Amino acid sequence: MTRAVFLDRDGVINRALERDAKPFPPRNLNEFEILPEVPTALKKLKAAGFLLVVATNQPDVGRGTLKQETVEQIHAHVVSQLPIDRVEVCFHSGKIENECDCRKPKPGMLLRAAKELNIDLKQSWMVGDRWRDVDCGYNAGCKTIFVNRGYAEELKYQPDFIVKNLAEAADIILSAK
């Protein structure tokens, strides 16, 4: 079995758009900006043998306010620029209880990737900037790292670590035994 680092997209890999201290996804490729520390951090993790899997909720598709093709175009760009092994996406709106098993904080995206890529979840990490990411990692049995962006929301589970950015998260992951 292999180890993986699961990464939220908006706020971890790319700059999230903020309104009223809440993060929002970019609406198109022109608004999509990879954060400066991300390429180096991901190269280090990849060199250490980790699979890199993006796990992202994109509920605007399910709500009809963003086209799935736009999200897929952004993900094609991400994969072309960064050493990402897989992108898992939940397009469900999140408006209907039990709509799916993949919308974070549920662990469905991580469990699916683990099954298909032979990932040992107990030796893997979830890195995210929202409570849903931390809870998803916890629910999947991963170690968790919270990238604190100062959003106006509280954590439910305490993450294993709190950092300022993906570079700090990568350093923690690489120094863990």
CA atoms within 13 A on the CB side of 48: 20
Q: How far apart are the first and last CA of the chain?
A: 16
Q: What is the pTM of this model?
A: 0.96
Residue 138 has pLDDT above 70, yes or no: yes
Q: Domain segments of the chain: what residues?
A: 4-175
Alpha helices per DSSP H over 3-130: 38-47, 59-62, 68-81, 108-117
pLDDT of residue 177: 67
pLDDT of residue 97: 76
pLDDT in tens, 14-54: 999 998 888 999 999 999 999 999 999 999 999 999 999 99
Q: Do 177 and 160 touch, CB atoms closer than 8 A?
A: no
Q: Which residues are catalytic?
A: 8, 10
pLDDT of residue 136: 98
Under DSSP, is residue 128 helix (H, G, I), strand (E, B) or coil?
Answer: strand
The rounded distance, in Å, linking the Cα atoms of 165 and 13 is 9
Assigned CATH topology for domain 4-175: Rossmann fold (3.40.50)
pLDDT in tens, 80-96: 999 999 999 999 998 88
